[in-house]
Amino acid sequence: MSPGLVRTEMLEDMPEDMRRQLLDRTFLKRPAEPEEIASLVLWLAGDESRYMTGAELHVDGGLGLGA
């Protein structure tokens, strides 16, 4: 799984101009909430994903698409 920006202490501590640059390159124009990442992790750990193999999931709000 490849998460993008997630609203964490680390993101909040990032200099505003750097954070703004990254968010401007993100299609959804916002960071993920931790719960949005956690729900995918729980799905991947559960039976519903048991037939899934070798996939890379980009959970990044479209980072790079909004550029």
pLDDT in tens, 5-59: 999 999 999 999 999 999 999 999 999 999 999 999 999 999 999 999 988 899 9
C-alpha pair distances (Å), 47 with each of 4, 40, 41, 54: 25, 13, 12, 16
Q: What's the predicted TM-score (pTM) here?
A: 0.81
27: exposed, middle or buried (C-beta count within 10 Å: 0-12, 13-18, 19+)? middle
Three-state secondary structure call for residue 26: strand
Give me the pLDDT at residue 32, please: 96
